[in-house]
Amino acid sequence: MAKRRFTFSATLPPYAPPRNEWRRRVHAAVLESQASRGVGYSESDRLEVRIELFLGSRPLAMLDIDDRVNDVIDALGGYIAGPRSLRRIAPIVPNADQIRRITLEKSTRVPRGRPLGQITLARYRRRRRA
Protein backbone atom coordinates (compact mmCIF):
# COMPACT_ATOMS: atom_id res chain seq x y z
CA MET A 1 0.00 0.00 0.00
CA ALA A 2 1.37 3.42 -0.96
CA LYS A 3 2.09 6.06 1.66
CA ARG A 4 -0.37 8.91 1.98
CA ARG A 5 0.77 12.29 0.75
CA PHE A 6 0.54 15.11 3.25
CA THR A 7 2.59 17.96 1.81
CA PHE A 8 1.69 20.41 -0.92
CA SER A 9 2.26 24.08 -1.71
CA ALA A 10 0.10 26.73 -3.34
CA THR A 11 0.67 30.30 -4.45
CA LEU A 12 -1.32 32.90 -2.54
CA PRO A 13 -3.03 35.35 -4.89
CA PRO A 14 -2.28 39.08 -4.52
CA TYR A 15 -4.36 40.63 -1.77
CA ALA A 16 -7.21 42.87 -2.87
CA PRO A 17 -10.25 43.90 -0.85
CA PRO A 18 -12.90 42.82 -0.01
CA ARG A 19 -11.50 40.20 2.36
CA ASN A 20 -14.22 37.65 1.69
CA GLU A 21 -13.45 37.54 -2.03
CA TRP A 22 -9.73 37.23 -1.34
CA ARG A 23 -10.47 34.31 1.01
CA ARG A 24 -12.41 32.65 -1.84
CA ARG A 25 -9.42 33.07 -4.16
CA VAL A 26 -7.07 31.64 -1.52
CA HIS A 27 -9.41 28.69 -0.98
CA ALA A 28 -9.63 28.04 -4.73
CA ALA A 29 -5.83 28.23 -5.20
CA VAL A 30 -5.15 25.86 -2.30
CA LEU A 31 -7.91 23.46 -3.38
CA GLU A 32 -6.54 23.32 -6.93
CA SER A 33 -3.02 22.60 -5.71
CA GLN A 34 -4.28 20.01 -3.24
CA ALA A 35 -6.24 18.19 -5.92
CA SER A 36 -3.30 18.17 -8.33
CA ARG A 37 -1.09 16.53 -5.65
CA GLY A 38 -3.79 14.08 -4.55
CA VAL A 39 -3.62 15.14 -0.90
CA GLY A 40 -6.49 14.82 1.54
CA TYR A 41 -6.78 15.24 5.29
CA SER A 42 -8.92 13.51 7.89
CA GLU A 43 -10.01 14.96 11.22
CA SER A 44 -7.31 13.03 13.08
CA ASP A 45 -4.38 14.45 11.06
CA ARG A 46 -2.19 17.02 12.80
CA LEU A 47 -0.89 19.68 10.42
CA GLU A 48 1.68 22.42 10.06
CA VAL A 49 1.10 25.51 7.92
CA ARG A 50 4.04 27.48 6.51
CA ILE A 51 3.29 30.87 4.98
CA GLU A 52 5.86 32.91 3.08
CA LEU A 53 4.87 36.49 2.26
CA PHE A 54 6.66 38.12 -0.67
CA LEU A 55 7.07 41.72 0.45
CA GLY A 56 10.04 42.94 -1.57
CA SER A 57 11.16 46.25 -0.04
CA ARG A 58 7.59 47.14 0.94
CA PRO A 59 6.91 47.38 4.70
CA LEU A 60 3.83 45.67 6.03
CA ALA A 61 2.36 46.55 9.42
CA MET A 62 2.06 43.78 12.02
CA LEU A 63 -1.71 44.22 11.94
CA ASP A 64 -1.74 43.53 8.19
CA ILE A 65 0.31 40.37 8.64
CA ASP A 66 -1.96 39.12 11.41
CA ASP A 67 -5.04 39.83 9.28
CA ARG A 68 -3.59 37.95 6.29
CA VAL A 69 -2.69 34.91 8.42
CA ASN A 70 -6.19 34.88 9.93
CA ASP A 71 -7.71 35.15 6.45
CA VAL A 72 -5.64 32.20 5.22
CA ILE A 73 -6.58 30.01 8.20
CA ASP A 74 -10.27 30.93 7.79
CA ALA A 75 -10.08 30.09 4.07
CA LEU A 76 -8.54 26.68 4.88
CA GLY A 77 -11.46 26.00 7.23
CA GLY A 78 -14.01 27.08 4.63
CA TYR A 79 -15.03 30.19 6.58
CA ILE A 80 -15.29 32.77 3.84
CA ALA A 81 -17.33 35.34 5.76
CA GLY A 82 -15.37 34.93 9.02
CA PRO A 83 -14.96 32.26 11.70
CA ARG A 84 -18.43 32.68 13.22
CA SER A 85 -20.29 32.74 9.94
CA LEU A 86 -22.78 30.05 9.04
CA ARG A 87 -21.89 30.52 5.35
CA ARG A 88 -19.16 27.98 4.64
CA ILE A 89 -17.67 26.24 1.68
CA ALA A 90 -15.98 22.83 1.69
CA PRO A 91 -13.13 22.98 4.21
CA ILE A 92 -9.63 21.94 3.19
CA VAL A 93 -8.68 21.41 6.83
CA PRO A 94 -11.77 19.92 8.53
CA ASN A 95 -11.01 21.34 11.99
CA ALA A 96 -8.83 24.36 12.88
CA ASP A 97 -7.63 22.51 16.00
CA GLN A 98 -5.68 20.19 13.67
CA ILE A 99 -3.24 22.99 12.88
CA ARG A 100 -0.50 22.61 15.48
CA ARG A 101 2.09 25.02 14.07
CA ILE A 102 1.97 28.12 11.88
CA THR A 103 5.25 29.45 10.57
CA LEU A 104 5.33 32.87 8.93
CA GLU A 105 8.29 34.11 6.93
CA LYS A 106 8.63 37.48 5.25
CA SER A 107 10.62 37.34 2.01
CA THR A 108 12.27 40.15 0.09
CA ARG A 109 12.01 38.40 -3.28
CA VAL A 110 9.39 39.53 -5.77
CA PRO A 111 8.29 36.69 -8.09
CA ARG A 112 6.49 37.17 -11.40
CA GLY A 113 2.80 37.94 -11.30
CA ARG A 114 3.14 39.63 -7.91
CA PRO A 115 1.52 36.93 -5.75
CA LEU A 116 1.17 37.72 -2.05
CA GLY A 117 3.10 34.61 -1.09
CA GLN A 118 3.16 30.87 -0.84
CA ILE A 119 1.50 28.46 1.58
CA THR A 120 2.67 24.96 2.37
CA LEU A 121 0.64 22.42 4.32
CA ALA A 122 2.45 19.41 5.78
CA ARG A 123 2.20 16.80 8.48
CA TYR A 124 3.04 18.21 11.90
CA ARG A 125 6.23 16.80 13.34
CA ARG A 126 7.08 17.68 16.90
CA ARG A 127 10.54 19.17 17.20
CA ARG A 128 12.91 17.79 19.77
CA ARG A 129 14.32 20.35 22.15
CA ALA A 130 17.99 20.30 22.98
DSSP state for residue 125 in the 8-state scheme: -
**DSSP-derived 3-state class of residue 64:** helix
SS3 content of the chain, % helix, strand, coil (to 5): 30, 25, 50
Per-residue pLDDT of the chain (130 residues; tens, 9 = 90+): 566 778 899 999 988 888 889 999 999 999 999 999 888 888 888 999 999 988 766 666 555 778 888 899 999 988 887 666 666 788 888 888 899 999 988 887 777 777 788 999 999 988 777 6
3-state secondary structure 17-40: CCHHHHHHHHHHHHHHHHHHHCCC
For the entire predicted model, the pTM comes to 0.83
